[in-house]
Amino acid sequence: MRECESESVKLRQARAGRRLRERGAVIGRLFPVPCSLFPVLLLAAVVAGACRDRGGAPPAADAIALDSVPRRVEVRLYVATDWAWNEEDTLSVTVVNGTDQPLDGTVHLFVASPVEMLRNSVPSRSAPPPALLSSGEGTRVTFPLASLAPGASGEFRQAVRMPPAPRQRSTPAENDTTRRFAVRAWVAGAEGQEVAQAADTIRIRAGSEVVAGGCGGVADVAVTRYGIGPLRLDMQAADVRTLCPEARDTTWRQEGTTERGMSVRLAGRPVTVVLHQGRVQRIVVDTAGVRTAAGVGVGSTLAELRERYGRACAGAAEGRVAVWFPAAPGVSFGLDSATAVRPAASPDPAALPDSATVQRLWVRAGSDDCPARRSSNESDTP
């Protein structure tokens, strides 16, 4: 019985071997490969058949739809990497509208003080002049964005001037914050909400304290709350002489006292620096040509000042009237003789005629609030 079963097993094995050889012969005729690879090919065929029995191949992954990628507004701020004291350069802001809707609103650029925003600096594309707003922390300029189409970009440029070099300090360069000034740009939507922003830092390079050319070579001499051109309030007299080698000492009488200062020329225009205890207390201009960022100066009318700055304050000294504006901090305007007042009177700003003209302006420290009306002969002009 066992012999029969053994013969049966041998017979089945012989038949299986014959079938393998037959299949190998077929494969050999179709694909001439070495005989040693036949078992491998047969095994691969069996495995492939088993995989087919387990169902179809998994579905291909869905392609990522481009519309599903979030779209946004991007602000790109360009700040040069090699700045020097008393140097002029340009900050650039690019706004990219990556949404599928037009973008309306405003572009804002803030620079920490005492970096000066220069006037007549407008976007590269045709647009109204930007609006400037100064505070103790710095200056912000606002550009109208109008309507930026989907996928479009707009570039805005603003010229700035670095302050004069301060006196040498013992503070290590890595800890000296007087050499670094923050810059920030952002886009505000039509309703004033911030949409996107970017920030950077202006860094003054070491060794740039040496100033070449003197004050006479300065091209832009705009009046700001910090000074005029490269001259700044609270500068030491020695720094003024270094900055303006052509400066000349001068004295004069004012309000019964002897004033001391220096006479310099900025871009060919005379400017008087008033000193107190060796530091710049006021910077005075009494000739036309030197103007504020709003475009007013000696020769402008009071009507022009009111149009640009709004509410005025007034004071009197030596029988003359001076006006100043909370919207233009740090700058006073002396009016012509048509607005002379009695020593005992305190001028009413609203009563001053629009036709009054500016004969002198000066940059000074102190309050920009309107004083209370008085009846004494004490000077209330800042």
pLDDT single digits (tens) 315-353: 886 667 999 998 888 999 999 865 555 554 578 888 899
| Contact between residue 204 and residue 216 where contact means Cβ atoms under 8 Å apart | no
Quote the pLDDT of residue 243: 79
Q: Which residues of 155-169 are buried (b: 16+ CB within 10 A; e: fewer)?
A: ebbbbbbbbbbbeee
**Count of CB atoms within 10 A of residue 200's CB?**
16
Residue percentage of the chain with pLDDT more than 90: 28
SS3 121: coil
| Contact between residue 352 and residue 333 where contact means Cβ atoms under 8 Å apart | no
Which range scores top for mean pLDDT: 85-89, 114-118, 145-149, 185-189?
185-189
31-56 average pLDDT score? 50
Which range scores top for mean pLDDT: 7-11, 61-65, 201-205?
201-205
Quote the pLDDT of residue 12: 62
SS3 302: helix
HEC assignment per residue over 200-260: EEEEECCCCCCCCCCHHHCCCCCECCCEECCEECCCEHHHHHHHCCCCEEEEEEECCEEEE
Q: Higher-confidence residue: 51 or 109? A: 109
Quote the pLDDT of residue 367: 81
CA dist 36 and 313 (Å) reads 107
**Mean pLDDT of the residues in the chain:** 76
CA dist 215 and 113 (Å) reads 21
Determine phi and psi for 128, rounding to 5 degrees.
Answer: -65, 155
pTM for the model: 0.49
The position carrying tokens 């990497």 is 81
**Count of CB atoms within 10 A of residue 13's CB?**
10
CA dist 321 and 323 (Å) reads 7
Indicate whether 92 pLDDT > 60.
Answer: yes
Quote the pLDDT of residue 69: 37
